[in-house]
Amino acid sequence: MTKNKLSSNDNYTTPVAEHPSLEEVYEATPFSEAFWTYVNYIILNIFGWFRDFLRKTRIENRKGSAENNPPGFVPLYQSYESFYTRNVYQRIADCFNRPIGSVPGGKLDLLERVTDDYNWSFKFTGDKITKINLGSYNYLGFANNNGQIANNVINSIKTNGVATASTTQEFGTLIQHRKLESLLARFLGTEDAVAFGMGFATNALNIPSIVGKGCLILSDELNHTSLVLGSRLSCATIKVYRHNDMEHLERLLREAIVSGQSRTHRPWRKILVIVEGVYSMEGSLCKLPELIELKKKYKAYLYLDEAHSIGAMGSHGRGVVDYWKCDVNDVDILMGTFTKSFAAAGGYIAGKKELIDHIRVSSHAAAYATSMSPPVIEQIVSVLNLLIDENEEHEGRKRINQLAWNTSYFRQRLSKMGFIVYGHPHSPVVPALLYSPSKIAAFNREMLKRGVAVVTVGFPATPLVLGRVRFCLSASHTKEMLDEVLKYAEEVGDLLNMRQSKLNPKKSFHETEF
């Protein structure tokens, strides 16, 4: 059971930095790592084709699902991903989708499982193993199962039930929904806000209600799948610009204004620039001041997804708008989710009242999806009340400051130890490069043996040669926990020859005092 109060970590907190940083680090991939990663994949592909041949000729039993097409029909699935899943992913499947048996706090309980057929199937042993959790988006540490917030949620079930069983536009809007939306608008500093029961659907089902045919979407190449899907569903024209490359974006904006639509050369009905606040795979921040300058210059609209930045960035926890000290009214559409910093579920869109009224009427999420569950609303409202409180000595501000300290501490020490670390110095997502699929599996397994649960990521979620471990920091982590993780990372890093940074020559943990 986890208490709602922060762990005793008072000597290791500091207010959030007042001056935002422009510095982001993307060290070049060492040639040797790129070479051996490609060789690794070539070998895996050769063995994969050979084993597929054996399966096709029935020499080897097919353990996975197979597509049996009627004669004359082309296969439904022809992508490389299906081949990759069978022959590469399956070898390291034990490193992914691990079931947990507790709340995802600073520590969590994993349900122990074993396999006797090389990861094609798993069996539970019935045991739980407790590990330090560096894999959850529990940024402010509110993922708790007792304490005042948990009590508020339980009491709300007694009075309001567990579900509305109706859509927002029919009978699914309660007083609690309006209270949440009003409090959210107050927290963000916008005229109005609307909440939805699912974060992914907030993007996928609302972008089509904002833009359509004759509109142009300019999307960052690293935008989340939900943004990509929403853009495609809108039937608008989509152009992708290089990640955080403002010169490329301006060139596309200029061409769009000068040339108009491709066939008719008529002016675009709308131009919408879509970005994320914190990019969860790279640990980078959007360049919001430059984006606002460009959108004003070319009269475009700006859609900002704050899923990973709301609560986690800025001195007041109001996301990258707060971090960059920008005017919230300069961002036309603010989107965010409650699944990370709020330890709840769902998402929101905030902005001008006219925009929110339009979304309430025209959004597929409002018309066809069940509205947010009352206990989930209570969780979010309880967290919002803590974050709105401006007192530095109270819990909300303490958690924001604790996350900021943990982020700076962990990032700086990991970098100084010689790991190749990506992203922004103030981002709570800390990717360290592993490169090859063999290291992706080995790092994950070796850290788990030492009592640390981490998330390792590879193709197709990353480029082929840029596999990585993604450390996710939380206000619930103590300095002792982070020190333990860093010491184990040093040990495993040496085992896998990971500490190859040329910007930060390799040092031991004890040589990198903060």
Structure confidence by residue, pLDDT tens digits, 275-327? 999 999 999 999 999 999 999 999 999 999 999 999 999 999 999 999 999 99
Structure confidence by residue, pLDDT tens digits, 183-213? 999 999 999 999 999 999 999 999 999 999 9
Q: Which two tokens stand for residue 226?
A: 């939900």
Could you tell me which residue, 433 or 64, shows the higher pLDDT?
433
pLDDT of 392 reads 77
User: What share of the chain in percent tops pLDDT 70?
Assistant: 94
Cα four-point dihedral sign 435, 436, 440, 445: negative
pLDDT of 10 reads 56
C-alpha span between 460 and 55 (Å, rounded):
24
Query: Peptide bond preceding 460: is omega within 30 degrees of 0, i.e. cis?
Result: yes
CATH code that applies to domain 97-134+394-496 = 3.90.1150.10
Q: Which two tokens stand for residue 121?
A: 């199937």
CATH topology of domain 148-388: Aspartate Aminotransferase; domain 2 (3.40.640)
pLDDT of 377 reads 96
The pTM assigned to this predicted structure is 0.91
pLDDT, mean of residues 113-127: 92
pLDDT of 58 reads 85
Q: Is the pLDDT of residue 167 over 80?
A: yes
Structure confidence by residue, pLDDT tens digits, 40-91? 999 999 999 998 889 888 888 877 666 677 788 877 766 666 788 888 888 8
Confidence of residue 2 (pLDDT cuts 50, 70, 90): very low
Domains of the chain by residue range: 97-134+394-496, 148-388
pLDDT of 70 reads 77
Q: Torsions phi, psi of 399, nearest 5?
A: -65, -40
Could you tell me which residue, 269 or 85, shows the higher pLDDT?
269
Share of the chain residues as helix, strand and coil, in percent rounded to the nearest 5: 40, 15, 45
pLDDT of 24 reads 86
User: What share of the chain in percent tops pLDDT 90?
Assistant: 76
126-133 LR contacts (CB < 8 Å, sep 24+) = 128/101, 128/102, 130/451, 131/107, 131/448, 131/451, 131/452, 131/453, 132/106, 132/107, 132/451, 132/452, 132/453, 132/477, 132/481, 132/484, 132/485, 133/104, 133/105, 133/106, 133/107, 133/108, 133/453, 133/474
Confidence of residue 11 (pLDDT cuts 50, 70, 90): low
Closest alpha carbon to 180 in 399, 350, 354:
350
Q: Is the pLDDT of residue 5 over 60?
A: no
Confidence of residue 464 (pLDDT cuts 50, 70, 90): confident
pLDDT of 234 reads 96
